[in-house]
Structure 1
Amino acid sequence: MQCESRLTLDASAADHVVDVANVVREPALGGDRPADLARFEGVLDALADFSRDPAVQVYAITDRSLLTDARLTARERERLDRWYRHGLMEVLPRADDRILELADALGVRVVSGDNFLDFHRAHPWIPGDRDRFLRPVLGDDGVIVVRPRIMPVPPEWQVSRKEEEGLLLEAGVLRRWAPNGHLTVLGRHWRCPEPGCPLFGAGDRPSTALPRRRRDRVLCPTHGGPLADAGPRPRQVQVKVLMDGTVRGRFMVTAGEPLAVGRAPAGGGAVLGTWVDDHAVESVSRTHVVLAFDGRVLTVLDERSANGTRIRRSRPAGDELVPLHHGSRWTLRRGDSVVLHDRLELLPSGRQFVFEEDGTDGTVDPLRQESAAGPTMMGVPLPALDEGRRGDGRE
Structure 2
Amino acid sequence: MEKHLTADFEEACFLVDLSNVVRRQNLGEPGLRSLRRLALVVDAAVDLARDPDLKLYLVADRSLRLGGRHEFNDPADIRLLGRWVREGLVEELGDADERILELCEMTGIPVITGDHYRDMREEFPFLQGNTDDFLEPVPAPGGTVRLAPLDMGVATAAQISRKKEESVLKKQGLLGPQRTPRSEVVRRNWRCPDRRCTVYDTRKGTLVLLPRMSRGVPTCEQHGLELLDDGPRTATVQVKLLVDGEVKDRFTLEDGSTVRVGRKPGPGGIALHGLLPDDLAARISRAHVELRVREGLVHVSDLSSFGTRRRVTSGTSGPGPWRDLPKDTARDFRAGDELELTEGVVLARSGRRFPTELAQEWQRRTPPSGEGPEAVTRMY
Work out which of the two has the higher radius of gyration on C-alpha atoms and give 1 or 2: 2
Shorter-chain TM-score bucket reads 0.3 to 0.5
TM-score by length of 2: 0.46
